[in-house]
């Protein structure tokens, strides 16, 4: 049987039953972590038979968590499945850490490490209640996370540009490296003209994610395989925005290499155009949403053309 796909004779998959089962297995694992930790919190040590029983219960709890995760078909959405997999992995890794801590700690008293590890398993198990319940909610969560990262990058670069002529002004002077007076730490007027267009692309990235996120919240559905796949496509391409913004931002610091800036700007523009294209052809973009898609597409082209013009004679 392929991973995560229903096997022959299995009942049709029901998302609500999956969540009930996953919540139950996470709860049992949390209880087993508590039992294990208490058993080794003070002398005397559990007997060999008790140790065997404790180990068996922990193993069964972890196997149940993994088994229920594999019930979730890929057809329910790869974005949702990845979030459930990450949560499941955290529970398993938390239990491994707790077991290692108990094996390596003296049994005279409950150690701080053991308390922290036990709490880590509890926390990981509680996360099941915060997981998105379908692929639409999962993609909303993924887009919101991307938007947060891009917002931070835009604010950081805006702050650097208005700080003055020296973007490294907050770094203390080093006599040997000679930070002060070294023109490689300053932006020229030509640099600043180029960077204003790059900032335009970065702001378009933020606007693009905000609009796509709002469209998925308003119109996104996970009722059919086609809708689920379209949402995954959106999440996948949106995940490329943040690294592309970061690469462009890094290339904007002096000394500015116009070729590197232009290449990174072109890469970001390409990703944004792809996001807009995928949005426009998906169910999250009814005719009422087409205006902002067209506007942002124009903004990306406009800023990219300005980057090309500013770098034309410098390459």
In a domain, 81, yes or no: yes
Q: What was the pLDDT predicted at 42? A: 83
pLDDT score for 178: 47
* pLDDT value at residue 6: 46
Q: Would you say residue 240 lies in a domain?
A: yes
Give the structural domain span for 45.
Answer: 15-130
Give pLDDT, residue 4: 46
> Do residues 190 and 84 both lie within one domain?
no
Q: Clarify whether residues 162 and 109 are in a common domain.
A: no
pTM for the full model? Answer: 0.87
pLDDT at 182: 52
d(CA 15, CA 71): 10
Tell whether 1 is covered by a domain.
no
Q: Where are the alpha helices (DSSP H) in the chain?
A: 15-39, 48-71, 78-104, 112-126, 135-162, 189-219, 225-238, 241-251, 258-280, 290-311
pLDDT for residue 166: 54
186/305 same-domain check:
yes
Q: Are residues 154 and 75 in the same domain?
A: no
- In angstroms and rounded to an integer, the radius of gyration of the C-alpha atoms of the chain is 26
Residues 74 and 200 in one domain: no
Same domain, 142 and 249: yes
Structural domains in the chain (count)? 2
Residues of the chain with pLDDT under 50: 1-9, 165, 172-174, 177-181
**42: CATH:** 1.20.1420.10
150 and 31 assigned to the same domain: no
């Amino acid at each position: 049987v392929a991973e995560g796909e229903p096997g022959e004779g299995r009942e049709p998959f029901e998302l609500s039953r999956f969540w009930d089962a996953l919540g139950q297995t996470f709860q049992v694992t949390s209880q087993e972590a508590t039992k294990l930790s208490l058993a080794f919190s003070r002398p005397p040590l559990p007997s060999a038979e008790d140790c065997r029983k404790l180990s068996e219960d922990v193993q069964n709890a972890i196997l149940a968590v993994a088994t229920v995760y594999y019930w979730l078909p890929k057809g329910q959405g790869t974005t949702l499945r990845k979030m459930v997999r990450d949560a499941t992995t955290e529970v398993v890794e938390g239990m491994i850490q707790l077991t290692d801590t108990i094996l390596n700690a003296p049994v005279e008293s409950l150690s701080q490490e053991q308390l922290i590890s036990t709490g880590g398993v509890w926390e990981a198990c509680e996360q099941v209640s915060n997981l998105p319940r379908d692929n639409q909610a999962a993609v909303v969560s993924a887009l919101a996370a991307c938007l947060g990262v891009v917002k931070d990058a835009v604010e950081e670069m805006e702050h650097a540009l208005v700080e003055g002529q020296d973007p490294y002004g907050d770094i203390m002077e080093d006599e040997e490296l000679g930070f002060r007076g070294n023109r490689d730490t300053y932006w020229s007027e030509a640099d600043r003209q180029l960077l204003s267009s790059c900032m335009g692309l970065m702001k378009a990235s933020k606007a693009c994610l905000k609009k796509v996120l709002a469209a998925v919240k308003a119109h996104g559905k996970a009722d059919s395989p086609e809708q689920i796949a379209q949402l995954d496509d959106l999440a996948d391409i949106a995940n490329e925005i943040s690294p592309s913004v970061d690469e462009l931002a890094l290339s904007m610091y002096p000394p500015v290499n116009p070729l590197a800036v232009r290449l990174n700007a072109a890469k970001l523009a390409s990703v944004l155009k792809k996001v807009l294209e995928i949005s426009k052809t998906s169910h999250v973009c009814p005719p009422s949403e087409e205006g902002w898609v067209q506007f942002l597409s124009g903004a990306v082209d406009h800023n990219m053309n300005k980057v090309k013009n500013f770098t034309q004679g410098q390459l």
